[in-house]
Chains A and B, each alone.
Chain A
Amino acid sequence: MAKIIVVTSGKGGVGKTTTTASFAVGLAQRGHKTVAVDFDVGLRNLDLIMGCERRVVYDFVNVINGEANLNQALIKDKRVENLYVLPASQTRDKEALTKEGVAKTLEELSKSFDFIVCDSPAGIEHGALMAMYYADEALIVTNPEVSSVRDSDRILGILASKSRRAEEVEEPVREHLVITRYAPERVSEGEMLGMDDIIEILGVPLLGVIPESQAVLNSSNAGTPVILTEGSDAGQAYTDLVARFLGDERAHRFLTAEKKGFMRRWFGG
């Protein structure tokens, strides 16, 4: 039986797809058979971030409608063993994701995968609800910014009331907080919400903090999940995050402002 993990946030542009891509790569690197599923029907982007956009033939909606089978739609990653992508449809609308169709597809994926990572669309409409509904665990992606934190709180409410686990009164969905675009210098200047504040407000255990990093844009430009960019701060933070998810003890890194050099200390900068 696979574990189903939804990557969600409510607000758009906070790093759901970036997180989905690196998280899925990280799990696969650790030897777990993993599939990343794009639920953003109509605005698919996971294929682009994963660098497989030119290999999409069939998609999630084709599978649901019986126009293709799963093996035809799944794209095998060329860099990492054990990693597959199920792209969303670009031409349909989100209603094409029926509850039964999603259930059937996830069930079939469950037979051959260890982890199913669902990339949720922004918002709280049908597509987002479908991505969350069958989840066992959730990564809540949040920026240190008021609108993002408020939307995350809203999403936590929906997970607690409208997911399958909530409706069938099972153990609740296990929640993990992922803070992205974190800028320690601004936090220490009192200009940005600190991680402790966000944890306190949302009341969700922290899985990882991803620093604001040039490497993220560079890697999405190239279609290489940032976790594969060796030596990058964001990439290392994602590697740590995956390790923690799998139960390893890893100290959080990249949380303190960079030490200023001699010249900058004297002359500012």
Chain B
Amino acid sequence: MGFLDYFRNARRKQKATGSAQQAKERLQIIVAREGGRRQTPDFIPSMKRELLEVVRKYVTVEQDQVNVKVEREGDYEVLELNITLPDEEERAT
């Protein structure tokens, strides 16, 4: 540290904590409150796979005949599961 810094530091002491710390604290609060990332629960892809396995025990369905959608309305989420069952004749075979 240079000797001139001695005088500069005296001035700098006033803002010892730095504004970055303030920015971080404010952001942490706002990000937690706004919950920008209410993610789709990550168990859904594996649940989709398992549901499909159960259905396949009884009927033959392809991957693309199953449609899973998660929709969000206000505070609650709706899980929509759509499975197209094969025709009567196909099922008999």
Chain A residues within 8 Å of B, Cβ to Cβ: 145-146, 149-150, 153-157, 160-161, 166-172, 187, 189-194, 197, 201-203, 265-268
Given A197-B24, A201-B31, A169–B4 Cβ distance below 8 Å?
no
Q: Report if B45 contacts A (CB, 8 A).
A: yes
Top-8 shortest CB links A-B:
A190-B18, A157-B36, A153-B36, A266-B2, A160-B39, A169-B68, A157-B37, A154-B36
CB distance from B83 to the nearest CB of A (A): 14
Q: For B2, give its contact among A145, A157, A265 (CB under 8 Å).
A: A265
Interface of chain B residues 20 through 47 with chain A (CB within 8 A): 20-21, 23-24, 26-28, 30-31, 34-40, 42, 44-45
Say whether, besides A150-B30, A154-B36, A191 and B18 are in contact (CB < 8 Å).
yes
Chain A residue with Cβ nearest B48: A169
Do A153 and B31 touch across chains, with their CB atoms under 8 A apart? yes
Closest to B3 in A: A266
CB-CB < 8 A to A146: which residues of B?
23, 26-27
A141–B19 CA distance with the chains assembled, in angstroms: 22
Complex-state Cα separation, A172 to B38, whole angstroms:
13
State how many residues of chain B have any CB contact under 8 Å with chain A: 35
When C-beta atoms are compared, the residue in chain B nearest to A187 turns out to be: B20
| B40 close to A153 (CB less than 8 A) | no
> Does residue B70 face the partner (Cβ distance < 8 Å to A)?
yes
Residues in A neighbouring B37, C-beta threshold 8 A: 153, 156-157, 160, 203
Q: Is B90 an interface residue (CB 8 A)?
A: no
CB of A260, distance to nearest CB on chain B (Å): 9
A251 to chain B, nearest CB (A): 24
Q: Is the interface of A mostly helix, strand, loop or mixed?
A: helix
Residues of B within 8 A of A171 (CB): 45
How far in angstroms is the closest Cβ of chain A from B72? 6
Which of B24, B48, B72 is A201 in contact with, Cβ under 8 Å?
B24
- A259-B34 Cα distance, complex, nearest whole Å: 40
Contacts of B72 in A (CB 8 A): 161
* Minimum distance in angstroms from A265 CB to a CB of chain B: 5
Nearest CB of B to A216, in Å: 22
Q: How far is the CB of A34 from chain B (nearest CB, A)?
A: 29
CA distance A166 to B71 in the complex (A): 10
Q: A156-B36, A167-B69, A201-B31 are in contact. Are A193 and B24 (CB under 8 A)?
A: yes
Nearest-neighbour CB distance to chain B for A162, whole angstroms, equals 9
Is B57 on the interface with A (CB-CB < 8 A)?
no
A5 to chain B, nearest CB (A): 19
Are A169 and B20 also in contact (CB < 8 A) when A150-B31, A201-B31, A266-B3 are?
Answer: no
Of listed B1, B2, B42, residue having the most chain A CB within 10 A: B2
B14 CB-CB contact with A under 8 Å: no
The docked-state distance in angstroms from the alpha carbon of A153 to that of B36 is: 6
| With contact pairs A156-B37, A160-B38, A166-B40 given, residues A197 and B20 touching in the complex (Cβ less than 8 Å) | yes
Kindly state whether residue B93 has any CB partner on chain A within 8 Å: no
State in angstroms the CA–CA spacing of A13 and B39 once bound together.
27
In the assembled complex, B13 has its CB within 8 A of some CB on chain A: no
In the complex, chain A residues whose CB is within 8 Å of the CB of B28:
201
B84 within 8 A of A: no
Judge whether A169 and B36 touch: CB under 8 Å.
no
Q: How far is the CA of A14 from the CA of B67 in the complex (A)?
A: 38
Q: Mark B73-89, 1 if CB is under 8 A from A, else 0.
A: 00000000000000000
